[in-house]
Chain A
Amino acid sequence: MKKFWSSPWGLVSAGLFVGVFAALLQKWGNPGNMGICVACFERDIAGALGLHRAAVVQYLRPEIMGFVFGALIAAYAFREFKPRVGSAPIVRFVLGFFAMVGALVFLGCPWRALLRLAGGDLNAVVGLVGLAAGIGVGVVFMRMGYSLGRSYKTYTAVGWILPVMMMVLLALAIFQPKFTENGPIFLSAEGPGSMYAPLAISLAVGTGIGFLAQRTRLCTMGAFRDLMLIRDPHLFWGIVAIAGAALLTNLALGQFNLGFVGQPVAHDNHLWNFAGMMLAGLAFALAGGCPGRQLFMAGEGDGDAGVFVIGMIVGAGFSHNFGMASSPAGPGPWGPVAVIVGLGVCVAIGLTMRQRMD
Chain B
Amino acid sequence: MSDQVVDARGLSCPQPVILSRQALQKLESGGVVEVLVDTATSRDNVRRAAENMGCQVEITQEGEEFRLTITK
Residues on A facing B (Cβ under 8 Å): 6, 78, 80, 82, 84, 86-87, 142-143, 147, 150-153, 217, 222, 225-226, 229-230, 232, 234, 288-289, 302, 304, 357
* Residues of chain A contacted by B52 (CB below 8 angstroms): 230, 232
Query: B48, A234: Cβ atoms under 8 Å?
Result: yes
A193, chain B: closest CB distance, angstroms: 33
Query: B48, A232: Cβ atoms under 8 Å?
Result: yes
Main secondary structure of the interface of A (DSSP, over half): loop
With A232-B49, A357-B22 known to touch, is A225 a contact of B14 (CB < 8 Å)? yes
Query: Can you report 5 residue pairs joining A to B where beta carbons are below 8 Å apart?
Result: A84-B10, A147-B11, A150-B9, A150-B10, A234-B48
- Residue interface mask B28-72, A partner, CB < 8 A = 1: 000000000011110010001100100000000000100000000
A38, chain B: closest CB distance, angstroms: 18
Partner of A87, one of B10, B13, B18: B10
Partner of B39, one of A6, A82, A147: A82
With A230-B21, A232-B48, A234-B48 known to touch, is A147 a contact of B40 (CB < 8 Å)? no
B44, chain A: closest CB distance, angstroms: 5
Partner of A82, one of B15, B48, B64: B64
* Residues of chain A contacted by B39 (CB below 8 angstroms): 80, 82
Alpha-carbon separation in the docked complex, A147 to B18 (Å): 11
Tally of chain B residues near chain A (CB < 8 A): 20
**Taking CB as reference atom, which chain B residue is nearest A147?**
B15
B47, chain A: closest CB distance, angstroms: 9
* Residues of chain B contacted by A143 (CB below 8 angstroms): 18
Residues on B facing A (Cβ under 8 Å): 9-15, 17-18, 21-22, 38-41, 44, 48-49, 52, 64
* Residues of chain B contacted by A225 (CB below 8 angstroms): 14
Alpha-carbon separation in the docked complex, A287 to B52 (Å): 25
* Residues of chain A contacted by B21 (CB below 8 angstroms): 230
Query: B11, A150: Cβ atoms under 8 Å?
Result: yes
Alpha-carbon separation in the docked complex, A216 to B18 (Å): 20
* Residues of chain A contacted by B41 (CB below 8 angstroms): 217
Query: A288, B38: Cβ atoms under 8 Å?
Result: no
**Taking CB as reference atom, which chain B residue is nearest A87?**
B12
Alpha-carbon separation in the docked complex, A229 to B11 (Å): 17
Alpha-carbon separation in the docked complex, A357 to B21 (Å): 12
B11, chain A: closest CB distance, angstroms: 5
* Residues of chain B contacted by A230 (CB below 8 angstroms): 14, 17, 21, 49, 52
* Residues of chain A contacted by B9 (CB below 8 angstroms): 150
Alpha-carbon separation in the docked complex, A109 to B9 (Å): 30
B20, chain A: closest CB distance, angstroms: 10
* Residues of chain B contacted by A217 (CB below 8 angstroms): 41, 44
Alpha-carbon separation in the docked complex, A232 to B18 (Å): 13
Alpha-carbon separation in the docked complex, A226 to B13 (Å): 10
Alpha-carbon separation in the docked complex, A357 to B15 (Å): 12
A214, chain B: closest CB distance, angstroms: 10
Query: B14, A82: Cβ atoms under 8 Å?
Result: no
Alpha-carbon separation in the docked complex, A80 to B41 (Å): 9
A100, chain B: closest CB distance, angstroms: 20
A318, chain B: closest CB distance, angstroms: 26
